[in-house]
């Protein structure tokens, strides 16, 4: 059976194309998951997939997934991914990548420099990846301790 939170995380990361939302919903229904919005999403015609984003979000929430606020800004998403990493529900490499995907929108702030360096080292140092993943997780924890949505600096 599909892990709803894993799907929610991929959805928030933009890793699920909108045209796949109805197919995911139909598969989830076939696997025994159910909610009113999930049924609506599963029957969504391909011509209406743009409306699917709101339906996908609602369906995931109805199924118990944790999602960031609807109008989350880039810093909110960094905090979301850091919290998912420290909760152990998103791996350090994916979480770091998804956190850094917000860096452009944030103007590449200094407080993301450590993660940027760790991500670069992860690509260049295969034998040290386990250590780097531990450091990514520690940096996510440190960011959570220092930052909260809406803070600047």
Task: Count the alpha carbons within 13 Å of 136 in the hemisphere toward its beta carbon.
Answer: 29
Distance CA 140, CA 119 (A): 13
In the chain, domain spans: 4-62, 74-146
CA dihedral over 52, 87, 119, 104, signed as positive or negative: positive
Distance CA 4, CA 19 (A): 18
| pLDDT for the residue 150 | 47
pLDDT at 94 over 90: yes
Tens digits of per-residue pLDDT, 34-71?
999 999 999 988 777 777 889 999 999 999 999 998 88
Tens digits of per-residue pLDDT, 98-153?
999 999 999 999 999 999 999 999 989 999 999 999 999 999 999 999 875 444 44
| pLDDT for the residue 149 | 47
Task: Count the alpha carbons within 13 Å of 68 in the hemisphere toward its beta carbon.
Answer: 21
Cα–Cα distance list, 59 to 21, 54, 108, 141 (Å):
10, 9, 33, 30
| pLDDT for the residue 148 | 57
């Amino acid at each position: 059976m599909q892990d709803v939170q894993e799907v929610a995380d991929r959805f928030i990361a933009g890793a699920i194309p909108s045209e796949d939302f109805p197919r995911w919903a139909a598969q989830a229904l076939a696997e025994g998951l159910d909610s009113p919005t999930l049924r609506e999403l599963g029957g969504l015609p391909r011509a209406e997939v743009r409306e699917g984003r709101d339906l996908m979000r609602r369906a995931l929430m109805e199924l118990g997934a944790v999602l960031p606020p609807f109008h989350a800004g880039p810093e909110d998403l960094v905090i979301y991914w850091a919290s998912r990493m420290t909760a152990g529900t998103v791996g350090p490499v994916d979480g770091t990548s998804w956190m850094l995907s917000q860096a452009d929108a944030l103007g590449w702030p200094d407080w993301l420099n450590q993660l940027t360096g760790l991500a670069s080292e992860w690509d260049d140092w295969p034998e040290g990846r386990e250590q780097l993943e531990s450091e990514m997780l520690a940096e996510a924890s440190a960011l959570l301790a220092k930052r909260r949505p809406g803070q600047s600096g």
